[in-house]
Amino acid sequence: MKKKSGLFQLFAYTFLSLFAIMNIVPLFWMVVNSLKKEQEYAANPFSFPTSLQFSNYMQAWKVANMDVYFFNSILVTFVSLIVTVLLGALAAYFLSRFKFKLRGLTYSLFLLGMLVPIHATLIPIFLIMQKLHLIDTYLSLILPYTAFHLSLTVFILEGFMRGFPKDMEESGVMDGAGIYRIFWSIILPITRPALATVVILNFIYNWNEYLFALVLITSSEFKTLPLGLANFVGIETASLTLQMAALTIALIPIIIFYLLLQKQLVNGMTAGAVKG
Amino acid sequence: MQTLRGTKLAIFFGLFPALLIYLGIAIVPIGLSLYYSVMNWNGIGSMAFVGIDNYVKILSNATFWLSVKNNVIIMVTGLIGQLPLGLLLALLLSRGLRGSGFFRTIGFMPVVISSVMVSLIWGMIYNTEYGMLNNLLAAVGLESWQQNWLGDDKWSMLSISIAYIWQNCGLYMVIFLAALQSIPDEVNEAAELDGATGFKRTMRITIPMIRSTIMVCVVYSISNSFRVFDLIQILTGGGPAHQTEVMTIYMYNSAFMNMRYGYGSAVSILILLFSLVVISVMNRLGSEKDA
């Protein structure tokens, strides 16, 4: 580990740099061109803009209905996230801290969800939502987002809560606290690190989801950001710089979120992947 | 805890809401998919029981097999493109080079961006007239290499595969990196004392030590390859002429474009079966080598 040969370093840095360039260039190219005039882009897609066209952003924001999509995405993402994490934590609490007859079965049922591709359920979910008149409502997205992320949420939280020492709740019992009181005031606070992971994972999954939105949302009023963007780019084929501006607007918040919460996000995704 | 009064009721109320939503939306529909898959139904009229008729029709449909073939291409792309690349990157990053954190950050970024965004960006790269790739080729005097990357059936699956590698490689990189970092230092030191250094140590010690993680990634990558939808739906919609269609798109088109809900459900059951079979075969292969 101590001595590294120069040749190895040369190879490593060359390879890593090439890889980094491959990852950065498409995004960089898009952001740079989003600041150009359409004619300028057509003339040379690799030059830097002569003057920065921030008006592209205003126009994209308006033409692409980005305010509506952002609002919908934020609403659906956070409501699903809160419901998933609350219900998941409660379920994980009972599964990890209590013995009861159907415990094993219930736990395996929750785990099963990680194996099932959502595509195997898509048609029935669409038909159920149609029957319940929930197509084109927030609820039609919140319910599947919650249901499908309960598996991983319960799995991660159950594993974490199981690790607490057995007498964790004793002081609470002594003070006469009920089961739910113990959950809220003792268990939940010490589960915070795992809760953070689960919150971040749910956020990313909900924020990026496309397939359910595609099937369950038809009206522009309820479209989420990924669906709205996909449609916008499909329709607005004339102006590439406008498309790039819209994509950049959507890209920036998620990149900031990533850079701020990098460590937890990587840990969470790794855990999710390894366990999923 | 079991002595607490009303425990059973409390457990019931604690688990009930989560179970209700989960079973109702995630588990019951699998059963419904099975049920619809033996029906002929356009979603409006009455259902007619047709037995395994849908399955017979699907399995004798050339387009379906084309989509299976494309799923296999995506699977192979994942296995020979993403995993070794991710492993190589992780091996390099685990050597404590200066700037590792930077490369890890950049490498993982595409995983966090939505697949819709990834697809739209790659759509712009591959765009025949205005895209980055063809423009770049022109700029370096290689006009003759320009292609209709997504529209030409010689290139379309390859183009999609490259975008797919770009999108997911970083995920395997960080999973492998986490596994490599959990190898105790003593193991590496002992190996070095025994004269196993560099490449030899990597092949003989390091990789065998993270075998179980590699197996998990193989299974994960396979099961993901059966779930690919967004990327292809947005880049090509499955075209030209079904050349890039995968099973999920075939299912989506059958059910939601052609209103054949029974037929589409049968496809979705086949997706489920295919992925379960491949995963269990891989799992068996993995555990046999362990024994």
A1–B4 CB contact, under 8 Å: no
Helix (H, G, I), strand (E, B) or coil at A58: helix
Average pLDDT, chain B: 89
Give the chain A residue nearest B215 (alpha carbons).
A274
**Cα dist from B59 to B133, B238, B263, whole Å:** 38, 19, 11
pLDDT over 50 (residue A1): no
Rounded mean pLDDT of A27-35?
Answer: 91
User: What pLDDT digit, counting tens, does each position of A202-223 carry?
Assistant: 999 999 999 999 999 999 999 9
pLDDT over 70 (residue B1): no
Of residues A275 and A249, more confidence is placed in A249
B14 touches chain A (CB under 8 A): yes
Give the chain B residue nearest A212 (alpha carbons).
B230
Rounded mean pLDDT of B90-117?
Answer: 92
Determine the distance in angstroms separating the CA of A12 from the nearest CA of chain B, rounded to an integer: 6
3-state SS record for chain B: CCCCCCHHHHHHHHHHHHHHHHHHHHHHHHHHHHHHCCEECCCCCCCEECCCHHHHHHHCCHHHHHHHHHHHHHHHHHHHHHHHHHHHHHHHHCCCCCCHHHHHHHHHHHHHCCHHHHHHHHHHHHCCCCCHHHHHHHHCCCHHHCCCCCCCCCCHHHHHHHHHHHHHHHHHHHHHHHHHHCCCHHHHHHHHHCCCCHHHHHHHHHHHHCHHHHHHHHHHHHHHHHHCCHHHHHHCCCCCCCCCCCHHHHHHHHHHHCCCHHHHHHHHHHHHHHHHHHHHHHHHHHHHHHC
Of residues B10 and A77, more confidence is placed in A77
B8–A126 CB contact, under 8 Å: no
Give the chain B residue nearest A11 (alpha carbons).
B92
Rounded mean pLDDT of A257-262?
Answer: 91
pLDDT over 70 (residue B2): no
User: What pLDDT digit, counting tens, does each position of B49-75 carry?
Assistant: 998 999 999 999 999 999 999 999 999
B143 touches chain A (CB under 8 A): no
Percent of chain A with pLDDT over 70: 96
Give the chain A residue nearest B23 (alpha carbons).
A147
Question: Which of B4, B92, B234 is the closest to A230 by Cβ?
Answer: B234
Model pLDDT, residue A274? 57
Average pLDDT, chain A: 89
User: What pLDDT digit, counting tens, does each position of B32-46 carry?
Assistant: 999 999 999 887 778
CA B121 to chain centre: 19
A146–B25 CB contact, under 8 Å: yes
Determine the distance in angstroms separating the CA of A40 from the nearest CA of chain B, rounded to an integer: 12
Rounded mean pLDDT of A239-245?
Answer: 88
Query: B124: which chain A residues are within 8 Å (Cβ-Cβ)?
Result: 30, 240, 243-244
Model pLDDT, residue A4? 58
Determine the distance in angstroms separating the CA of A22 from the nearest CA of chain B, rounded to an integer: 8
Model pLDDT, residue A276? 40
Please give the backbone phi and psi of residue A178, each rounded to the nearest 5 degrees, phi first: -80, 175
Looking at this predicted complex, what is its ipTM? 0.90
Of residues A152 and B6, more confidence is placed in A152
User: What pLDDT digit, counting tens, does each position of B196-209 carry?
Assistant: 777 888 888 888 88
Give the chain B residue nearest A272 (alpha carbons).
B175
Rounded Cα distance, A225 and A229, in Å: 6
> Hey, of B2, B12, B13, B22, which one would you mutate to test binding to chain A, going by the most A CBs within 10 A of its CB?
B22
User: What pLDDT digit, counting tens, does each position of B138-155 carry?
Assistant: 888 888 888 888 888 889
B18 touches chain A (CB under 8 A): yes
Q: Taking chain B, what is the end-to-end CA distance rounded to the nearest angstrom?
A: 41
Model pLDDT, residue A204? 92
Rounded mean pLDDT of B212-218?
Answer: 90
User: What pLDDT digit, counting tens, does each position of B120-133 carry?
Assistant: 999 999 988 888 88
For the record, the structure tokens of B175 come out as 């999973």
Of residues A116 and A131, more confidence is placed in A131
A178–B17 CB contact, under 8 Å: no
Contact A59, A249 (CB under 8 A): no
Helix (H, G, I), strand (E, B) or coil at A35: coil
pTM of the model: 0.91
